[in-house]
Amino acid sequence: MRVLVTGGGGFLGAAVSEALIARGDTAIAFDTHFPNAGIAAPEHCVRVQGDITDMAALAQTVLAHKPDAVIHCAAIVGVLFSIGSPINIVRINVEGSINVFEAMRIGGIKRCIHISSEEAYGAFRAERIDETHPLEPVLPYGICKATVEQLGRTYRDLHGLEVINLRTSWVYGPALPRDRIPRNLVLAALQGRALHIPSGADTAIDHTWIDDWVSAVLAALDHQAHRFDVYNVSSGEAATVTELADIVRELVPGSQLSVGPGLYRHGNRIELVRKGALDISRAQAEFGWKPRFDIRSGLAAYVEAIRGQGE
Ligand SMILES: NC(=O)c1ccc[n+]([C@@H]2O[C@H](COP(=O)([O-])OP(=O)(O)OC[C@H]3O[C@@H](n4cnc5c(N)ncnc54)[C@H](O)[C@@H]3O)[C@@H](O)[C@H]2O)c1
């Protein structure tokens, strides 16, 4: 299979491109830049430097490389960026996604796996929520995700596209590029630095280990007939920031990590709305995907991977 991976130079896009290549598929990675040198096997990997706001570049890419499907990861990521420049995130995340859908029309490509986010839900109304929870996003990032999901339905109804939305929750892995939990906890512990996170004891978040996220995307890509167009993808359990720090302390004895009371804040500034666990039973029932890592085994794998990099 030939798969166009938008954002193929980023954390998730590069990981799924590598997984496609490893199983013998061809990844056409499309991104404005490629900081991750990891993508090997050039005979199965095409890199296209381009911008999803450039419709002509996307159209040329699908016509030249003839992908069978799209995994759409390109986006401005993170709620802080979205607050700093709402117009920019709408241009890239919404307008860019429309260009991806238009390019699919031009290239006769039916299926797109769109990487959505638990931010599309807004404040969780229960400790564990499933895909029927209302979409009440509160910040531009989540509003854009919900909008792209809905635009995917428009393209389904008008043009026969099949846009499958994976509502992904806080993925972590060695290449996580952002300075946030649990990366900051793991790095501080391994570098012998004390770290105090001012607040977060009352925020429980469902964290997803990178390998589980990759296997979910491939399972959704491969599934023959989807009965739904949206699936939660996460570990299925939430942990408070204090619990994360406790686990990292156990994994790296002697580390000095502490977490203050209250809700976690994005960049120590913007208080998170209520989060929790995602119910992932739909993905399991429909395409047989199940995460292999809980937060403890995922953090253990994370610590080992960072140790292996010589941190
Ligand atoms: N990492 C997570 O925890 C998480 C959780 C939920 C959803 N997501 C979604 O998954 C996707 C990938 O996230 P990530 O963590 O890999 O982030 P990332 O920042 O590492 O990757 C995003 C990639 O998109 C590229 N990009 C940005 N603007 C572009 C443009 N105009 N044209 C082409 N490429 C552009 C960036 O260069 C980057 O390589 C995003 O859509 C993100 O919203 C991520």
How many Å lie between the centroid of ligand 1 and the Cα of residue 9? Answer: 9
From 166, 128, 170, select the one nearest 148 (Cα to Cα).
166
pLDDT score, position 240? 98
Q: Is the peptide bond before 86 cis (omega within 30 degrees of 0)?
A: no
pLDDT band at 39 (very low <50, low <70, confident <90, very high): low
Residues 42 and 165 in one domain: yes
How many Å lie between the centroid of ligand 1 and the Cα of residue 16? Answer: 12
Residues 286 and 214 in one domain: no
Q: Are 96 and 31 in contact (CB under 8 A)?
A: no
Closest ligand 1 atom to 171 CA: 3
Probe target for ligand 1 pocket from 17, 73, 208, with the most ligand atoms within 8 Å of CB: 73
What is the mean pLDDT of the segment spanning 281-301? 98
Residues 223 and 266 in one domain: no
- pLDDT, tens only, 120-172: 999 999 999 999 999 999 999 999 999 999 999 999 999 999 999 999 999 99
* Atom 12, ligand 1: residue with shortest CA distance: 73
- pLDDT, tens only, 104-119: 999 999 999 999 999 9
Q: Which residues of 54-79 are buried (b: 16+ CB within 10 A; e: fewer)?
A: ebebbbebbeebebbbbbbbbbbbbb
pLDDT score, position 170? 97
pLDDT score, position 15? 95
Residues 104 and 246 in one domain: no
- pLDDT, tens only, 233-275: 999 999 999 999 999 999 999 999 999 999 999 888 889 999 9
pLDDT score, position 215? 98
Higher pLDDT residue, 44 or 19?
Answer: 19
* Atom 1, ligand 1: residue with shortest CA distance: 171
What is the mean pLDDT of the segment spanning 63-74? 98
How would DSSP label each residue in 92-144?
IIIIHHHHHHHHHHHHT--EEEEEEEGGGG-S-SSSEE-TTS-----SHHHHH
Residues 84 and 229 in one domain: yes
Parent domain of 25: 2-171+209-233
Residues 125 and 37 in one domain: yes
Residues 218 and 279 in one domain: no
**What CATH code is carried by the domain that includes residue 74?**
3.40.50.720
Q: Are 52 and 6 in contact (CB under 8 A)?
A: yes
* Atom 27, ligand 1: residue with shortest CA distance: 75
Beta bridge partners of 209: 172
Residues 11 and 76 in one domain: yes
pLDDT score, position 43? 60
Residues 134 and 244 in one domain: no
Cα dist. 102→7, 88, 107, 145 in Å?
A: 17, 20, 9, 18
Residues 90 and 185 in one domain: no
Q: Is 73 in the pocket of ligand 1 (CB under 6 A)?
A: yes
Closest ligand 1 atom to 175 CA: 20
How many domains does the chain divide into?
2
How many Å lie between the centroid of ligand 1 and the Cα of residue 301? Answer: 23
Residues 132 and 192 in one domain: no
Supply the mean pLDDT for the chain: 95
pLDDT score, position 104? 98
**What CATH code is carried by the domain that includes residue 261?**
3.90.25.10
* Atom 11, ligand 1: residue with shortest CA distance: 73
The tokens describing 120, both together, are: 């599309």
Residues 220 and 190 in one domain: no
Q: Are 277 and 234 in contact (CB under 8 A)?
A: yes
pLDDT score, position 82? 79
